[in-house]
Amino acid sequence: MTKERVCIIGSGNWGSAVGKIVGENVLKHKDIFETEVRQWVFEEDYKGEKLTEVINREKENPKYLPGIKFTSNIKAVPDLIEASRDASVLVFVLPHQFVRGVCEKMKGTISQDAKAISLIKGLEIKPEGVTLFSEEIARKLEMTHVAALSGANIADEVALERFCESTIGCRSIEDGQLFFKLFNTDYFHVNVIRDYVGVELCGALKNIVAVGAGISDGLGYGSNTKAAIIRLGLMEMRKFGQTFFGTVEDSTFFESCGVADLITTCSGGRNRKVAEAFAITGKPIDVLERHMLNGQKLQGTLTAQEVHQFLSARKMTHEFPLFETVYRIIYENAPLESIVRDI
């Protein structure tokens, strides 16, 4: 049997934490995986050196995950085509805006029998439809074996080996077993389910709920109210999945990608925090993004806007009152108090 050759595409905070896990696991399962794991790293300067060279020397990504060592079988590669050459397992873990470009470059260089798993956060929601990144990868690279991983997984805590769980959604049981071996550890418990659509939907829609929870926190509404918003949000996530993707299952929302990730996102998390500041200070979201996120865009408000446009095109905004109220508060100056009054 030919061994699987793993390539990780991406090396930010989460990509680095995942690199640590994958590096350890291929050594544990040498019968299945090639020892060397190549990781595509977007080349940048780090204190006068090339980042890939620092990573390969120090076995650490000092820019995005300082203080955490990788196993020595992880090899940082700055060239995408070289990194993914002959790979049979691709782990996509990069910001969603780069997925298309990366796939475009790799087109024709990857075997159609290769397997891919998407750890990309978010969805592409346009008025005409919702695109899952796992499906986008499959389409661009003409692959059929695709899966998605999502869960209550703050990267820094995972890197410190704090116990957590994660969910892999995967149509094929065989692929699911392979991905399980690639990701599961003593401290990172993986559950494999078939509903990959639900896994990816949860990862995007939870951020809208976190904005709602942050507004409630900013208004000082207390924990009963916040729990109600989280619960109603979970119900709208489920309804969205079941209305627009018949295959989404109830049980998915009991998985780590569902209720657990939602709880984490609504307790800590940048979406909750910026929304809380929005409610307290009254400053516009873009100003807060500059102050609090170094100008990075907040996921939850963008997703709320995309979901609003998607629902509007179908005259269904009234069926998702929490999603819609978050949108109206952020983009249409609806009063903050409508977060409870209108849901």
Instruction: Give catalytic residue positions.
Output: 206
Binding segment (CB under 8 A) for a copy of itself, from list 94-102, 156-164, 273-281, 291-299: 156-164
- Residue 262: phi and psi, rounded to 5, are -60, -45
If the CB atoms of residues 68 and 178 are measured against a copy of itself, the closer one turns out to be: 68
Q: How far apart are CA 319 and CA 336, in angstroms?
A: 20
Asked if 14 is part of the footprint of a copy of itself (rule: CB under 8 A), the reply reads no
9 binds a copy of itself (CB under 8 A): no
Residue with tokens 């692959």: 143
Q: Is 284 in the site for a copy of itself (CB under 8 A)?
A: no
Nearer Cβ to a copy of itself (193/340): 340
Q: Which of 86, 126, 127, 254 binds a copy of itself (CB under 8 A)?
A: 254
Q: Of 35 and 191, which has the nearer Cβ to a copy of itself?
A: 191
| 261 contributes a contact to a copy of itself by CB under 8 A | yes
Name the residue nearer to a copy of itself (CB basis): 38 or 273.
Answer: 273
Burial class (CB in 10 A: 0-12, 13-18, 19+), 47: exposed
234 in contact with a copy of itself (CB under 8 A): yes
Shortest distance, CB of residue 185 to a copy of itself, whole angstroms? 13
Helix (H, G, I), strand (E, B) or coil at 203: helix
For residue 294, with 0-12 CB atoms within 10 Å meaning exposed, 13-18 middle and 19 or more buried, which class applies? exposed
C-alpha torsion sign, points 5, 134, 299, 191? negative
Q: How many CA atoms lie within 13 A of 252 on its CB side?
A: 28
| Residue 297 beta carbon to a copy of itself: minimum distance, rounded to whole angstroms | 23
Site string for a copy of itself, 177-196 (x = CB under 8 A): ----------x-x-------
Taking CB under 8 A as the binding criterion, the range among 204-212, 256-264, 272-280, 281-289 that sits at the site for a copy of itself is 256-264
How many residues belong to the chain? 343
What whole-number distance in Å separates Cα of residue 126 and Cα of residue 294? 26
